[in-house]
Structure 1
């Protein structure tokens, strides 16, 4: 395949022919179709001095020079061109008897040599190679000129977009001292999300850019550029989540400057600069999903659930609203948290838009409060949690994480208020539960789970309601039951098992602690 070289629409590479024999000069002009090959003969010469003057005058890309010409010979002409820095490529023409001269010419840096009589096919091959070489050098000069003109930020943009070829990358790497290849590459996009006037947006972006640039220089961890009003970072051997602490600190400093309108979207880390574009494209896609996967202003590809979307999650709003209402009445932290998380998972797998999710969560919130409002006692509180400000707050949350955290907060606050209204009801339910199950292996974790509470929270709640901790209360109930069994004539060992103790000695110790005497003494006392 021939190299297609273009400097302009009709530009041809200039050629000068130098030979002392007119017939050879005429033959060279006709032996091939120069124009079809992309060349134009601009002059001929029959001696070395005339040839040198023509080369200086016309500045041809190529000169065909006979090695034995009058005036100055071919070798001397080549030397003079080198001394004066003339960049014309020379193809030497020589006879068999001049082969030693040809070898010397090659050492001087000529492109090639041809033996007389010249083979047309071979001449075309030599010219094609020269044309390819010239084309590559011109393209490299364009790269050099463009790189020097556009600056480092534009180079980084081209790396992110994947528009630099290997030769261009080699040059910019050397020119800017990028020290490629790196061990790791990762792209992050800092987006300012506030909808404001163009002037204010540009001012804010300029402030953010200065802060990001300072961060990158301080940590020697990459470069930045601006694409479509977004600050795009190419991290060097510095990646999330490995360097999450530092990147979170950067995010916090940006938030202090412009508020919570900043989000950082982070693509996956890659280990080859040819894959930088993939990390960049991932960061762009995540920007569109920042509501779903953002957490405290950072959106990361590793936290995306796209590969799990195929599993459809069923979620009956009315059924779950009923469960949630019950959990609120029982003040069950774990149950409330679990149901809200399941609702959130449903939204993720359903692949809904941000607006649809906010509407869906608002409707679920209202449906739950509606279930609670069936109890006349709760109506005054429910109305307080149905005000416009609360419902409006759902729609201004920037991420799903923040939205569900807010909804959990309202549900838990509501649960606490309802609990304060009716503590005796809860006390009765717990007492009845223990009364029916005192003989079983019930522990704090067992009963807290039965009522939908976190065990730590339930422990504090139990002491608040009953005035003593769970273990003491359970031991006291068991001892009271044991006294009844002993009165009925059961043996100490039988009574021990009937009230839920496995170890007789331990049972006797507990019994004496609460009654003041041992079970055997108690039994004897009952006989007397």
Structure 2
């Protein structure tokens, strides 16, 4: 069975050994992964070993059990803490309760009592894990959350590029009946407020938040007799959006249905509704463009008036077509070039190249499109201070590159290889940046190790980064936790002072960042095997 990890903190070595020896840890569901003789030492062990449970005495030198518990609560809130003490002190118990300790027991520790407590803690940990893993519970929560999940998916679907396979899998998973159509089209629905006269005649207008619900019912009723569809609330440009799947139905017929919806809402609810109808698309991956054009159609309300349908083709007749490296293309490309992986880069650059190759537009539009792609590439290169000539070629000027690429059949291959090169350069830059950060952190430690209050939080304020991320990269780059590194720096400086000066031990302790001479001596002896005084005497 999986055993939970536990650390024992007590300044009396005999007590620690006695407890470790007497308890049948495995039968209680635990394994002892470490022990410590004070709170400072315990905190280092906790950072290194990340135990599930900490057993700690209250009365200890350097850092007492309650202070240790407070720091555990700040840094490791899910860790269970059991406090035991030889002092039946009500004030200690009160503070322990405020710190949300799991148990508070008195010394001497009774084997049966502690075993019972450990089993109780194990049972609680088991229940926590089981609750988080419980399939039925997760399935029920998923079922309750499904409407919200669907809404989020729809909003993502019309705002960011997704692979068709991903869209289709989610449509099936969320039981959304719009897959497998010949064409798809978006209707962006704008519900306006009723006028002052209608507010006086309809009680519904006294509760305006109910109006969109009623509109949604009417839209669903009308569309259900004509086509497959899905409705969702938009988080951005339109209040309500209909994604319509067209099989053998015509766009003209759909426009008539949308027009009937506008009339019906006006007749029943006395509320003007305008529906912007976008371009149809033959692939679900193009649904973003249909949505954008539907929103653009709504924008013509100021020109033609509201309260009816506005079809984008009526406002912007289809001619040779449009080719544009838009915000979605740019965002998708930047995400791929910055974060990879190679498969993502290949897919994104292939879509960009295909969009250029398949567009039936004038030469100048293709040239502008390539200009947009290259402009985005250059922005990324400049952001990471990458050598521009190494990427685009020193012998080619900017405009020549645009002209050359527009004419090349292998634009997709060039874009893929160039993007891979930039991605690698960015990764290298990140590695260099990380090393610089660690070097700066080391220098900050060297400049401030004398400060007894020096902490991860203080360093991170200086570096403008989060403690969690800093701790991760510091350990990865140095092979040491921050506390262990700081202790090593302080002790190395202490050795230097012991060898080169006649300062008293308490003065040296203060100079290297230890407020308590006794704790300095304890840490020093733990590393070097002798006290500072004996170390000096042996030189």
Normalization by structure 2: what TM-score? 0.30
The higher radius of gyration belongs to 1
